[in-house]
Amino acid sequence: MDIIRENKYMWKVEKFKNMKVPVYVLTDSQTIRSQEYHEAIMQLVNVATLPGIVKGSFGMPDIHWGYGFPIGGVAAFDADSGIISPGGVGFDINCGVRIMTTSLEFSEIKDYIDEILTRVYNEIPVGVGSRTNFKLSVKEMKKILNNGVYWAINNNYGLAEDLYNIEDSGKIKYADADFVSDEAIKRGADELGTLGSGNHFIEIQIVEKVFEKENAERYGLFEGQIVYMIHSGSRGLGHQVATDYIKIFRDNLKDWNKKIPDKQLINAPFKSKYGQEYFSAMNAAANFAFVNRQIMGHKIRNIFKDLFDVESKLLYDITHNIAKLEKHNVDGEEKDLIVHRKGATRAFPDQIVLIPGSMGSSSYILLGTEKSMSIAFGSSAHGAGRVLGRRQAKRRLNYKNVLNSMKEKKIKIISKSKNTIVEEAPEVYKDVDSVVDIIEKIGISRKIAKLTPVGVVKG
DNA sequence: ATGTGC
């Protein structure tokens, strides 16, 4: 397999064998040859063989191996002749990031970080299997799955204005709860407003640096400001939807999937019965995830209101695990496409892009660009990308050292699991600053603000 | 990511 240089930050694998389009990887010359890239690029090659794929099989700078499709991959399929695949979305449907801003400066809250973290930890269930102590009825769950954040606003979990600041207003219209299994609904019924574990987090952060003053001001951002970020998804409900439809496709679309180069790329024609049913269920799970982050954001907003008498503003909430029906210009022709972004963020012109770091490392607020539309269907990266697997992390790092380095950086942390701390330590990820620098140099997003954590809640 | 592994 030859990887050729297309330009300074774009690499190409020409079509060979059954590939319908080339592979394009957006990154610099240092990372392109690394081991974790090699596996991911092989997966992008496999994706390039799938029916109806348009233009290219794209890798963002943070790509690494995932189920079927790599994490950090973007692939768009013709809505009429193409496919939809659960592996191209990921198990955590609508895993995403929410950022909320306050009018506070760090100096005003620096003595209260522990108190904020303790209250967040006490009021929001975190960790593996985190549950609320109430169970929603099936009827209520279906309302949530169909109406997304509109349900939350109607039930006093937030302000009406929040709807303007969520991707798709927190409600994807193609959702249909009738295609979500009883089992998935059951799993979700006591998981609404819970963080989960792994790379999910709640952080209190400082705006460390503003890059574009005018744009920062437009969004009410200033250096020294306190903001908070939530990184979470659709919990067990989304996981169950993915599991259910992978099985449904296996049971019912055996012939259709005969030629896929990897079993994990199992898919359905988008316009088919099974394709549409997965699309409806996936969007229902996406709405659940929007509400999940809405409820956590609302609770933290109330904690800040109670402690400091300030109102927080939802700046933006974005997903980085989803397949979306979008119109894009391909070779001068407007086409309806089903754009799979798995560990990739939509980055339309002038739209907020959020890139979360991990524990000790920084997070970023960026803006999408016109140029991103002409590269990978208006997409950008979603994080730093792992360099160490969970097992490797446990072998090379230990809990005390990770905590000490957090302490040296003056970052407070509350966590449910020692394992998670080691598995999600900053050292386990690529340097987020360099990933962000690359996406800015490529031109798919522009930096608006860099955020540094002062307090972290982990599962 | 996940009531963490078929």
How sure is the predictor about A36, in pLDDT bands with cuts at 50, 70 and 90? confident
**What is the C-alpha separation between A412 and A46, in angstroms, rounded?**
43
Which parts of A are annotated binding residues for GMP? Answer: 199-203, 320-321, 356-359, 363, 382-385, 458
Say yes or no to pLDDT of A421 above 90: yes
Question: What's the CA A367/C1' B3 distance, rounded, in angstroms?
Answer: 38
Question: What's the CA A199/C1' B1 distance, rounded, in angstroms?
Answer: 8
A225-232 and A201-210: which strand pairing?
Answer: antiparallel
3-state secondary structure of A367: strand
Residue A276 exposed, middle or buried by CB count within 10 Å (0-12, 13-18, 19+) = middle
**What is the C-alpha separation between A344 and A40, in angstroms, rounded?**
14
pLDDT of residue A360: 84
- Give pTM, 2 decimals: 0.98
A459 touches strand B (CB under 7 A): yes
Please identify which residue in the block is written with the tokens 């590939």: A19
Q: Are A316 and A257 in contact (CB under 8 A)?
A: no
Residue A288 exposed, middle or buried by CB count within 10 Å (0-12, 13-18, 19+) = buried
Over the stretch A189-215, which tens digit does the pLDDT of each residue have? Answer: 999 999 999 999 999 999 999 999 999
**What is the C-alpha separation between A206 and A211, in angstroms, rounded?**
14
A426 touches strand B (CB under 7 A): no
Amino acid at A113: I
| Alpha-carbon torsion (A348, A351, A356, A361), positive or negative | positive
A196 touches strand B (CB under 7 A): yes
Amino acid at A134: F
Average pLDDT, chain A: 96
Say yes or no to pLDDT of A1 above 90: no
| Alpha-carbon torsion (A144, A203, A349, A321), positive or negative | negative
Beta bridge pairs of residue A231: A97, A201
Mean pLDDT of A326-336: 97
Q: Tokens at residue A176, please?
A: 């249909």
A95 touches strand B (CB under 7 A): yes
A209 touches strand B (CB under 7 A): no
* Assigned superfamily of A4-458: tRNA-splicing ligase RtcB (3.90.1860.10)
**What is the C-alpha separation between A178 and A145, in angstroms, rounded?**
9
Please identify which residue in the block is written with the tokens 């799979």: A340
Q: Are A299 and A108 in contact (CB under 8 A)?
A: no
| Alpha-carbon torsion (A387, A392, A394, A400), positive or negative | negative
With CA of A187 and C1' of each nucleotide, the nearest comes out as B3
With CA of A71 and C1' of each nucleotide, the nearest comes out as B1
pLDDT of residue A374: 96
A328 is catalytic: no
A345-346 and A333-342: which strand pairing?
Answer: unpaired
With CA of A424 and C1' of each nucleotide, the nearest comes out as B1
Instruction: Report, in ranges, which bases of strand B sit under 7 Å from a protein C-beta.
Output: 1-4
A187 touches strand B (CB under 7 A): yes
How sure is the predictor about A368, in pLDDT bands with cuts at 50, 70 and 90? very high
Overall size of chain A counted in residues? 459
Question: What's the CA A419/C1' B4 distance, rounded, in angstroms?
Answer: 12
What residues have CB less than 8 Å from A372, skipping those under 6 apart? Answer: A347, A348, A349, A378, A379, A380, A443, A444, A445
Question: What's the CA A128/C1' B6 distance, rounded, in angstroms?
Answer: 21
Residue A329 exposed, middle or buried by CB count within 10 Å (0-12, 13-18, 19+) = exposed
Which parts of A are annotated binding residues for Mn(2+)? Answer: 92, 200, 231, 320
Say yes or no to pLDDT of A389 above 90: no
Question: What's the CA A128/C1' B4 distance, rounded, in angstroms?
Answer: 8
With CA of A184 and C1' of each nucleotide, the nearest comes out as B3
Say yes or no to pLDDT of A342 above 90: yes
